[in-house]
Chains A and B, each alone.
Chain A
Amino acid sequence: MSYKIPMGPYHPALEEPYKLDLICTGETVTDAKLHIGFNFRGIEHLAETRNYIQVIALMERVCGICSNIHTLTLCQAMEGLTTLTPPPRAQYIRVVMAELERLHSHVLWAGIAAKLMGFKTMFMTCFELREKVMDILQAISGNRVNYSMNRVGGVNRDIDDPQAVLKMIDALEAEMVRTVIPIFTTSSTARSRCKGIGVLTHEKAISCGVVGPVARASGVGQDIRKAAPYAAYGEMEFDVPVQPDGDVKARLLVRALEIMESCKILRQALTKLPPGELFIGDGKFDFTKMATTTSTSRVEAPRGEVMYSVSWKEGSRNPARVHVRTPTFAVMPAIRWMVLGARLADTPLIQASIDPCYSCTDR
């Protein structure tokens, strides 16, 4: 006999509201349906009522964790409208901020995953590390969540003391190597909860069009930083971790390895930080003389590819259309395939293993 178990929209295993209707036979999940939109905010529509300065502040609120990524992608798209190229120092600072945000996001996710595994001490360790990353972000930008770093044509703030940031990166990496990565990769608790569960096959990952660490954990080696480099990523040397198994362990491993790669990128960007201006021009942008009326930008956010399409009517202060394709919107439908055949008790961890952001999805 099969029965339906609703998980959400408000549930202890979910950080934000969405609903998973699980159809079960005994303890085994045989089908699942997802429901989103509980906090849909209509930000895309709201963006059409904001001018070119206000819209940056608005889009920063799409996501609470990768807020910087949203302003970066938007600003890059707006720069495409006006053919502005930010100065080299700004491009490097954008890389630093993007990688710090990736560290923040991945460490936060590791903590939540540990909590769902019943590994509370690891949860505390990860959140302690996350605090260190947030301290760096605060030291650079003055803010802990919405950093207000990006502007059209460059960045708003400089990194005054790269050496101090480097020291913090060293400390963070040492702690990751000493505790988090060995425990996640070798402990029997983590292995027993993660290995072989929530599998998304390579074929299904391709047909669902999943992105980011979820795709890479199913053997799809795509990363916009490599495939279509933006900011200063073309000058950075780093690897894109790919795992073939497609299970929760593979997703965990990919993110753990990405933390190490982020540290590598940060070290390069901070060491080679070129001198010069933070933004081009005098900070005023003439949207009455545009090179094109529609521009698109893509960025590799911590959860995968973000794409912004920005359309502007010449002479208008407001955008005509801002469309945001967030990574969770692309990845979330695949949860249905991950939970098929899984034990009911594993479903909270399986859905968390995509690192879902409902804020992004309900943009």
Chain B
Amino acid sequence: MTQLETISEKLGINVPWVNKGGVQWLEPGTVSIRELAKTMNELQARFITITAYQLPKDEGLKLEYHWDINGQLLGFPYKLASNSIESIYDLCEAVDWIEREIHEEYSIDFLGREYEPLLLRQGDTAGVNLREEVAK
């Protein structure tokens, strides 16, 4: 069994992996980000980053979580129904700064954690979508 198959089996996902643009993508479906992070920890995958996307028009926001496993780059897209998602900071220390940065830039709430300002200075307002502010 390949590593990718092991991940699919552990997560109980039946859809195939898609190799696109240098990444092995897997649609997580109903698997929560916390379940995914726990599985990645079990497999000793290395967290790399989260990429946030503001989708066109009123389609909302999307987060892509990336891990590395033996040089293979994995990607898991999460489309956000609201402006929030569970934090995985307690499971994966390495997400700290990127969760804080995304919170400050896109006003996405990572539930279950406390924030300290990362980029913002005293007097700035946290939780503002800077992209939308710039467009105004």
Decide if A and B are genuine partners.
yes
User: Is the CB of A91 closer than 8 A to any CB of chain B?
Assistant: no
Are the C-beta atoms of A307 and B119 separated by less than 8 Å? no
Given A311-B53, A321-B53, A333-B96, is A209 in contact with B21 using a C-beta cutoff of 8 Å? no
CA distance A333 to B101 in the complex (A): 13
Are the C-beta atoms of A307 and B48 separated by less than 8 Å? yes
User: Is the CB of B72 closer than 8 A to any CB of chain A?
Assistant: yes
User: Is the CB of B82 closer than 8 A to any CB of chain A?
Assistant: no
Are the C-beta atoms of B131 and A209 separated by less than 8 Å? no
Are the C-beta atoms of A297 and B22 separated by less than 8 Å? yes
Are the C-beta atoms of B64 and A309 separated by less than 8 Å? yes
Are the C-beta atoms of B119 and A40 separated by less than 8 Å? yes
CB distance from A352 to the nearest CB of B (A): 20
Q: Which of A23-31, A153-161, A221-229 contacts B (4 or more CB under 8 A)?
A: A221-229
Interface range, B side: 35 or more
User: Is the CB of A330 closer than 8 A to any CB of chain B?
Assistant: yes
Of residues 265 to 309 in A, which have CB atoms within 8 Å of B's CB atoms?
Answer: 292, 294-298, 305, 307, 309
Are the C-beta atoms of B20 and A307 separated by less than 8 Å? no
Cβ 8 A contact of A295, one of B21, B64, B121, B131: B21
In the complex, residue of chain A having the shortest beta-carbon distance to the beta carbon of B54: A321
CA distance A226 to B52 in the complex (A): 28
User: Is the CB of A81 closer than 8 A to any CB of chain B?
Assistant: yes
**B contact residues around A333 at 8 Å (CB):** 93-94, 96-97
CA distance A80 to B117 in the complex (A): 35
Cβ 8 A contact of A36, one of B22, B98, B118: B118
Cβ 8 A contact of B22, one of A35, A40, A77: A77
User: Is the CB of A202 closer than 8 A to any CB of chain B?
Assistant: no
Are the C-beta atoms of B134 and A45 separated by less than 8 Å? yes
Cβ 8 A contact of B66, one of A207, A227, A307: A307
User: Is the CB of A37 closer than 8 A to any CB of chain B?
Assistant: yes
**A contact residues around B72 at 8 Å (CB):** 228
User: Is the CB of A193 closer than 8 A to any CB of chain B?
Assistant: no
CB distance from B18 to the nearest CB of A (A): 10
Residue from B46, B47, B64, B96 whose CB has the most chain A CB atoms within 10 Å: B46
Of residues 53 to 93 in B, which have CB atoms within 8 Å of A's CB atoms?
Answer: 53, 64, 66, 68, 70-73, 75, 92-93
Cβ 8 A contact of A323, one of B47, B51, B71, B130: B51
Are the C-beta atoms of A298 and B73 separated by less than 8 Å? yes
Given A228-B71, A296-B75, A323-B51, is A37 in contact with B131 using a C-beta cutoff of 8 Å? no
Cβ 8 A contact of A209, one of B94, B118, B120, B134: B94
Encode contact with B along A180-208: 1 for CB under 8 Å, 0 otherwise: 00000000000000000000000000111
CA distance A77 to B23 in the complex (A): 11
Cβ 8 A contact of A208, one of B48, B94, B116, B134: B94
Of residues 217 to 251 in A, which have CB atoms within 8 Å of B's CB atoms?
Answer: 222, 224, 226-228
User: Is the CB of B8 closer than 8 A to any CB of chain A?
Assistant: no
| Interface positions of A (Cβ within 8 A of B) | 33, 35-37, 40, 45, 77, 80-81, 206-209, 222, 224, 226-228, 292, 294-298, 305, 307, 309, 311, 321, 323, 325, 329-330, 332-333
Given A224-B71, A298-B73, 7 other A-B residues pairs in contact with their CB atoms under 8 A: A35-B118, A37-B119, A292-B20, A296-B75, A297-B22, A307-B49, A311-B53
18 A-B residue pairs with CB within 8 Å: A40-B119, A77-B22, A80-B21, A81-B21, A206-B46, A208-B94, A209-B93, A228-B73, A292-B21, A295-B22, A296-B66, A296-B75, A298-B73, A307-B49, A321-B53, A323-B51, A323-B52, A325-B49
